[in-house]
Amino acid sequence: MASRVLWASRAASYLRISTFNRAFSTVLKDLKYNDTHEWVKVDGDSATVGITDHAQDHLGDVVYVELPEVGSTVAQGANFGAVESVKATSDIISPVSGEIVEVNDELSNSPGLVNASPYENGWIIKVKLNDAAELDSLMDFEKYTKFCEEEDAKH
């Protein structure tokens, strides 16, 4: 593997193609983030929640996602499920409060969607928001990017 990377780096250098190591994972601009690496996308009074690319990258291959019941409520900062990977099990913390109106049932059969598409097909729950003001306590993409860089520098 190392010889392939070295060869690719030399080939890129010869061809004057810039190469860079991926410092951290993808962060999308139109989402809000909490410090436990969940994201939320708001559309009116509906919010879609999932774990970030950064979180799935650190977890490794996801093998199981514990989903809550539709109709149950979640509170900002509270656990509503778990993601189990080959490395660890991690609680999923809700970035917003509200009633769960939909869960991503696809994750029961294909938990790897969390790895392959954390911001699209790997979403976890949809919530009817109780209080849109809660979004003000979350990070935008710039703050979350900086947060991830600082967190990775500690490890």
- Model confidence pLDDT, tens digit, residues 88-120: 999 999 999 999 999 999 999 999 999 999 999
Please write the tens of the pLDDT for every residue from 55-75: 999 899 999 999 999 999 999
**Position 35 confidence tier, pLDDT thresholds 50, 70, 90:** very high
Give the count of beta carbons closer than 10 Å to the beta carbon of residue 120: 11
pLDDT at 18 over 80: no
Q: Rounded to whole angstroms, how far apart are CA atoms 93 and 72?
A: 15
Single-letter residue type at 137: S
Q: Classify burial at 65, counting beta carbons within 10 Å of its beta carbon; exposed 0-12, middle 13-18, buried 19 or more.
A: buried
